[in-house]
Copies of this chain bind each other. A is one copy, B any other.
């Protein structure tokens, strides 16, 4: 994993030296603030490793990596408004620290910065193709967010709809990170497509695991309180599966609980007990492993390299994460 750490550090350094102007501070201070939040930088590291995997120097994908990390942070700023989240990774969210208008605007500005980075990709790159992959990916993220919002109002969300939602909201940008890394390396369409699928599997695995960790993780390490998704009335993988499996009476109680807007700690425990009763917690764990395994299988079709080893280790690391 030593490559991964050094790549994450490289991204960190590049993010610190983006050269955003000082003023207007209303536009740029929140952008600097969210970028200083020390995320895991998983997406840009995926871009660099995918570039190496496809036979080029990983650093060729640095601008692709910065573009996806900036877009990821753009989505964090705007999603936190929509979710009315007060904190993220232990820090106040942008709309909380500043205000609504500043958060909307600085998010928009970060979208612009992300797209600008992408224009700096190596000269050999077909920019039209790179931009279209990037933009369609962002649109896919927006579609996922829209579905997520629509699900809040619905009582009958099915598993396939849930997967479509996280396929956009979470997986699309993972795919884009890998695909743009490949494109920076000058990879052929077949490899780009494989990485698209690898990213989808990895993204689904990551999000379903995130839903699981909300219930089973140590709140200290996870940085969120246990059952936070339940409190927020979110229709997670576990909730959707449980709603499909439970009795009518339990379903009515669960839906009333989700819509109450304020779930008590006792009721959170009651929900988690229902997850266990129907074996949903265990099933979710096995689905997570299955999607991670799909990603590992796709990776096997690439030529051996240190980048392939590192990608494999990164998948293992994510699979074993507890936060």
Q: B-contacting residues of A (Cβ < 8 Å)?
A: 24-27, 78, 81-82, 100-102, 104-105, 107-109, 111-113, 115-116, 119, 127-128, 131-132, 135-136, 138-139, 142-143, 145-147, 149-150
Contact = CB atoms under 8 A, between A and B. Distances in A.
Contact of A105 (B24, B119, B128, B142): B142
Contacts of A82: 100-101, 104-105
Contacts of A24: 143, 146-147, 150
A109 B26 contact: no
A112 B139 contact: yes
B78 A105 contact: yes
A116 B321 CA distance: 37
The 5 closest A-B pairs by CB, nearest first: A24-B146, A27-B146, A82-B101, A26-B146, A109-B142
B104 A142 contact: no
Nearest to A127: B127
Contact of A119 (B128, B139, B142): B128
Nearest to A26: B146
18 contacts: A24-B147, A25-B146, A26-B150, A27-B142, A27-B143, A27-B146, A81-B100, A82-B100, A101-B149, A105-B145, A105-B149, A108-B111, A111-B111, A115-B115, A115-B135, A116-B132, A116-B139, A127-B127
A108 B142 contact: yes
Given A26-B147, A108-B108, 8 more contacts: A26-B146, A26-B150, A81-B101, A102-B149, A105-B146, A112-B138, A115-B115, A119-B135
Nearest to A102: B149
A132 B119 contact: yes
A138 B110 CA distance: 11
A2 to B, nearest CB: 35
B135 A116 contact: yes
Nearest to A109: B142
A28 to B, nearest CB: 8
A111 to B, nearest CB: 6
